[in-house]
Chain A
Amino acid sequence: SAVISQKPSRDICQRGTSLTIQCQVDSQVTMMFWYRQQPGQSLTLIATANQGSEATYESGFVIDKFPISRPNLTFSTLTVSNMSPEDSSIYLCSGRPSSYNEQFFGPGTRLTVL
Chain B
Amino acid sequence: RKEVEQDPGPFNVPEGATVAFNCTYSNSASQSFFWYRQDCRKEPKLLMSVYSSGNEDGRFTAQLNRASQYISLLIRDSKLSDSATYLCVVNEDNSGYSTLTFGKGTMLLVSP
Interface positions of A (Cβ within 8 A of B): 31, 33, 40-45, 48, 56, 58, 92, 99-100, 102-108
Contacts and interface: CB of A to CB of B under 8 A. Distances in A.
Interface size bracket, B side: 10 to 19
B98 A99 contact: yes
21 contacts: A31-B97, A33-B99, A41-B104, A42-B4, A42-B102, A43-B44, A43-B100, A43-B102, A45-B100, A45-B101, A48-B97, A92-B43, A92-B44, A100-B32, A103-B46, A103-B100, A104-B46, A105-B43, A105-B45, A107-B43, A108-B43
B43 A42 contact: no
Nearest to B105: A42
Nearest to B95: A56
B90 to A, nearest CB: 11
Nearest to B44: A105
Given A42-B104, A44-B102, A99-B97, 16 more contacts: A31-B97, A33-B99, A40-B104, A42-B87, A43-B44, A43-B87, A45-B100, A58-B99, A92-B43, A103-B46, A103-B100, A105-B43, A105-B44, A106-B43, A107-B42, A108-B43
